[in-house]
Amino acid sequence: MPDKINVLLVGCGAISRAWLIPALREKEMKIVGLVDINRSAAEEKAKEFNLKNLVISDNFKDALKETKPDAVFNCTVPEAHYEITMLALKQGCHVLGEKPLADTIYHAKKMVEEAEKRKKIFAVIQNRRYYHYIRGVKEFLAGSKIGNITTVNSEFYIGAHFGGFRDNMEHVLLLDMAIHTFDMARFLTNSDPLSVYCYEWNPSSSWYKQDASANAIFEMTGGIVYTYLGSWCAEGMNTTWAGNWRFIGEKGSAIWDGMEKFAAQKVIGQTGFIRKTKDLHIKFPIRKDENEGHSGLIREFIHCLKTGKKPMTSADDNIKSLAMVLSAIESNQKKKPVRIEF
């Protein structure tokens, strides 16, 4: 791997800004091209970030040949992930892709197989894993301070007026946002999904085309039951973007607002109708902006390209989070619980 990693970014919509800001701070990385089917979107991004001496194109194949990048940032819509990623991998590029990993499990498996065949790193932007407060909660739960976890509940309620493609997107909440929350549930509890029962609906007040709300119950490994309640069209009393959480263990419980508001109690009494409890405290890791969210993920991606190590959000693992989403959609369509396979 060269000292400076050349990157071709594909898909210059609004989300690409969240990628370019941290990427351009990295001295070991250089953006060598911007691609979008709407060429003017790529031109506008280049102008916004004052990027010069790079390739601007509306044709990904042509840009690949011209720039010969070491890696591709795939910021396209979910339906395009498979085509773009497969082309990049076959050209010998490492890939960091936007979530969700793919539009089908079949496509996800084919991409993972191609990456393994080419010995290339293929990871996905599950940026929540890189926030210090999420790492802090994971460490707390792993310490068994409230015993083994038996039950996890999360709530996500935000009235998000995006405009654009999301307004007409099918299964918009599950595909676009719940993928983050489901991945957090796996990450925080170190468990994997087994089955799901889900119900999607579109409230009468929704400004989305369909399915902006959903409830789901997952059976997870380790005997954990995880329940998700969420909506993209809930006006007022919004949760944080990471959601509100409750963790119930064999010896106590914890509640968390998805940021740095955390409380926990451990049962210390052995008699009485309601047993006596003791307050527990959490120590969050020190926040370092360069290691938070997209910044931390892109920095780790660079490190893995140089060392050959596997990223925390490697696609061969993150396919399990995608399976949670697609199986939840399948459950809603079949109106019954379904087993989760990946």
Q: What is the pLDDT of residues 4-23, one digit of tens each?
A: 999 999 999 999 999 999 99
Q: Which CATH superfamily is domain 5-124 in?
A: NAD(P)-binding Rossmann-like Domain (3.40.50.720)
Helical H runs in 102-259?
105-118, 132-142, 172-173, 179-189
- Lowest-confidence pick of 134-143, 161-170, 219-228: 161-170
CB 51 within 8 A of CB 27: no
Query: Tell me, what's the pLDDT at 151?
Result: 98
CA distance 7 to 29: 7
- CATH 3.40.50.720 domain residues, the chain: 5-124
Measured CA to CA, the distance from residue 110 to residue 68 in angstroms comes to: 23
Residue 94 is predicted with a pLDDT of 98
H-helix or E-strand spanning residue 230: strand 225-231
Peptide bond into 100 cis (omega under 30): yes
Residue 209's pLDDT band, with cuts at 50, 70 and 90, is very high
Band of pLDDT at residue 63, cut at 50, 70 and 90: very high
| pLDDT number for residue 23 | 96
Q: Where in the chain is the domain with CATH 3.30.360.10?
A: 129-288+323-339
Q: Is 95 exposed, middle or buried (0-12, 13-18, 19+ CB in 10 A)?
A: buried
Query: Helix, strand or coil for residue 37?
Result: coil
Average pLDDT over residues 170-189: 95
pLDDT band at 2 (very low <50, low <70, confident <90, very high): confident
Q: Tell me the pTM.
A: 0.92
String of b and e for 58-87 (b: at least 16 CB within 10 Å)?
eebeebbeebebbbbbbbbebebbbebbbb
pLDDT tens column, 273-298:
999 999 999 989 888 878 899 999 99
CA distance 186 to 324: 10
Does the pLDDT of residue 108 top 80, yes or no? Answer: yes
- For residue 164, pLDDT beyond 90: no
Q: Which homologous superfamily is 129-288+323-339 in?
A: Dihydrodipicolinate Reductase; domain 2 (3.30.360.10)
pLDDT in tens, 23-53: 999 999 999 999 999 999 999 999 999 999 9
The reported pLDDT for the residue numbered 289 is 78
At which residue do the structure tokens 């996890």 appear?
152
Q: How far apart are CA 75 and CA 11, in angstroms?
A: 5
**pLDDT score of 307:** 95
